[in-house]
Amino acid sequence: MRILTPYEKNFLTKNNFDLLSPALQTATPVEYLVGRAQFRGLNFFVDNSTLIPRLETEQLVDLALENIFKNYSPNQKIIIADICTGSGCIGVSLALELIKKNQDFHLYFSDISKTALAVAQKNFNYFLPDHSHLATFLLSDLFSQFPKNVSLDLVISNPPYIPTKRIKTLDNSVKNYEPLIALDGGDDGLFLINKIIANLPKIQNNKVNALIELDENHTISQIKKSEGLNPSLIKDSFGKNRFLSLLSL
């Protein structure tokens, strides 16, 4: 049996998992063993088709809320896209907060993985069982399957952003268990991020804003330039560059 950290033991105990289970003879993350992971105080469904949510990603929801409440009144309907949604924890958490504030909105959840998208929809239905009209789930490579006439106001995303060569240096519990498709961001880690940016001007609403999680080593000079969007980096709670903000000029 492996030696559990205090967090792992506490997490398994809270979720009524047998601490003598043979499953603990492997390095499988406890979140996958239980099928749940904590995000912003909520217990989301996860499986090995989705990343395990990170603490720093919670700030992405706060940044989105700040952007929305600064730019829109509650009776203005805003259209949001959660790209590379995975478990849907970002979009679902955002939706819960917007409902509390009586903000009118519609949220698109998209992912290239059919199994991950199913987990996102399961989470939405669990936390927001009476609000299915507020969400659309799209099996999509970024924006490829979005309706042609969609006019997005805000794009949020935690895409794959780890440079390919760094994957092998990750902790075994990450590189051997979490989905590679959700980790590997290409040679410089910016393949999908720059692809998202390249598509933003093609969205009908030319005032679209975007908030994207990225690697702490990425710099503004590496980010694809997009006309009409002002890029800046925002630090996470650990003081590391973690989020790319793209605001319409």
The pTM (predicted TM-score) of the whole model is 0.95
3-state secondary structure 192-206: HHHHHHHHHHHCCCC
> What pLDDT digit, counting tens, does each position of 189-219 carry?
999 999 999 998 888 777 899 999 999 999 9
Q: What is the percent of the chain with per-residue pLDDT over 90, rounded to a whole number?
A: 89
pLDDT on residue 64: 98
Phi, psi (degrees; rounded to nearest 5) at 116: -65, -40
Q: How far does CA 19 lie from the centroid of its chain? A: 30
Q: Return the residue matching tokens 């409902």.
A: 99
Of residues 227 and 170, the one with the higher pLDDT is 170
Confidence of residue 2 (pLDDT cuts 50, 70, 90): confident
Residue range 26-55: mean pLDDT, rounded: 96
Residue range 85-97: mean pLDDT, rounded: 98
> What pLDDT digit, counting tens, does each position of 110-159 carry?
999 999 999 999 999 999 999 999 999 999 999 999 998 899 999 999 99
- Does 229 score more than 90 pLDDT? no
Give the closest residue to 136 by CA, choosing from 156, 150, 154.
Answer: 150
Cβ-count burial 28-56 (b if 16+ within 10 Å, e if not) = ebbbbbbebbbbbebbbbbbbbbbbbeeb
